[in-house]
């Protein structure tokens, strides 16, 4: 096949997403030229998904295109930033037009929802891997950092946790031919970045992080950055009906350390919680209080029977045995 790199990029990516007025020059030159809005900070994040590590080699390319962008938009959501631009570095073992078309469709469908324009890319031959960088805008004084939480703040999380982690665990236990409840696998394959909720938390939350490594691992990052500890009431964890149906009793690991939730975990001064609940209800965003932050370092889990423990299941860690 003699499709050139340049034809490939042009055909599949140039018209993949809409045209924003702040993109002065898009794909096709040595650089894109972009106009950042005055007064706002540019929020930037980059994430790589590697075949065999973050997804199966034969994963549906439509899902992959969605997920690769979603995990990056989730980082913007966690800062309270409004998404704007993305670049895509795609490494492919060969040119497969059907695969590429589906990948771009999955990417573009999510990009359009969030008014994100693809402004640059690089396509190379090699083991399948996807690196996306996203850019968004946020008031630098109000951006949601990990470091602003204070003892006494309430701890909240959006949506439900554990669905993706449970889906992965069930897939790994599954015999060939078995299938996992689609309500769970969809949460693993097509996560929803909580962009609107992130915007709503700007000026409200004292700290925020997105849950990618697992609820407790990411709570650990927030606590470390803020210099606080946390008490988490397991009975208050928001668990989906599908999760309750399929998770073995007393198995907390998928909900606490499964990862891939892409929910927002955030802290809030106690006197702001009612107003926030109202705003979330009005905006159709689901949030749940799951505990509070304390002076004492470390994370304490409070089990439904009242037992307390500081033993935490490990989060996802790329380089840990």
**In the complex, minimum distance from the CB of residue 281 to its own copies, in angstroms, rounded to a whole number:** 25
Instruction: Between 141 and 175, name the residue whose CB sits nearer to its own copies.
Output: 141
Tell me whether strands 154-158 and 207-210 are parallel, antiparallel or unpaired: unpaired
93-to-46, 57, 98, 128 alpha-carbon distances in Å = 22, 11, 14, 6
DSSP symbols for 46-81: EEEEEBTTTB-TT--HHHHHHHHHHHHHHHHHHHTP
Q: Does residue 19 belong to the site contacting its own copies (CB under 8 A)?
A: no
Neighbours of 250 (CB within 10 A): 7
Segment near its own copies (CB under 8 A); pick from 44-52, 169-177, 246-254, 281-289: 44-52
Q: Does residue 1 belong to the site contacting its own copies (CB under 8 A)?
A: yes
**In the complex, minimum distance from the CB of residue 78 to its own copies, in angstroms, rounded to a whole number:** 4
CA distance 222 to 297: 12
Residues 200-219 that bind its own copies (CB under 8 A): 208-210
CA distance 318 to 315: 10
Instruction: Between 22 and 181, name the residue whose CB sits nearer to its own copies.
Output: 22
**Binding string, residues 282-321; x marks residues near its own copies by CB under 8 A:** -----------------------------------xxxxx
Strand partners, 92: 125
Instruction: Between 145 and 187, name the residue whose CB sits nearer to its own copies.
Output: 145
Residues 105-164 that bind its own copies (CB under 8 A): 119-127, 129, 131, 133, 135-136, 138, 140, 143, 145-147
């Amino acid at each position: 096949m003699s499709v050139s790199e340049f034809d490939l990029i042009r055909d599949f990516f140039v018209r993949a997403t809409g045209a924003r007025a702040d993109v002065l020059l898009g794909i096709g030159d040595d650089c894109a030229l972009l106009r950042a809005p005055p007064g706002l900070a540019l929020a930037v994040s980059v994430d790589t998904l590697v075949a065999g590590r973050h997804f199966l080699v034969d994963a549906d390319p439509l899902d992959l295109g969605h997920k690769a962008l979603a995990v990056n938009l989730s980082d913007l959501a966690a800062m309270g930033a409004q998404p704007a631009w993305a670049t895509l570095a795609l490494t492919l073992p060969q040119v497969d037009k059907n695969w590429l078309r589906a990948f771009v469709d999955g990417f573009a469908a999510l990009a359009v929802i969030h008014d994100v324009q693809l402004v640059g890319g690089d396509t190379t031959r090699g083991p399948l891997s996807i690196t996306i960088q996203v850019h968004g805008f946020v008031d630098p004084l109000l951006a949601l950092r990990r470091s602003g939480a204070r003892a006494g703040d309430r701890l909240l999380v959006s949506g439900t946790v554990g669905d993706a982690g449970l889906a992965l665990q069930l897939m790994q236990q599954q015999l060939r031919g078995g299938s996992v409840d689609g309500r769970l696998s969809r949460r693993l394959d097509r996560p929803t970045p909580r962009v609107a909720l992130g915007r709503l938390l700007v000026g409200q939350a004292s700290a925020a992080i997105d849950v990618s490594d697992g609820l407790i691992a990411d709570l650990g990052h927030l606590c470390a950055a803020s210099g606080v500890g946390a008490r988490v009431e397991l009975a208050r964890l928001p668990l989906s009906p599908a999760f309750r149906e399929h998770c073995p009793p007393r198995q907390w690991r998928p909900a606490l350390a499964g990862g891939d939730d892409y929910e927002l975990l955030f802290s809030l001064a106690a006197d702001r919680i009612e107003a926030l609940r109202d705003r979330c209800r009005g905006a159709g965003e689901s949030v749940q209080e799951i505990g509070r932050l304390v002076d004492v370092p470390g994370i304490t889990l409070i089990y439904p029977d009242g037992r307390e423990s500081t033993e935490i299941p490990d989060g996802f860690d790329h380089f840990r045995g």
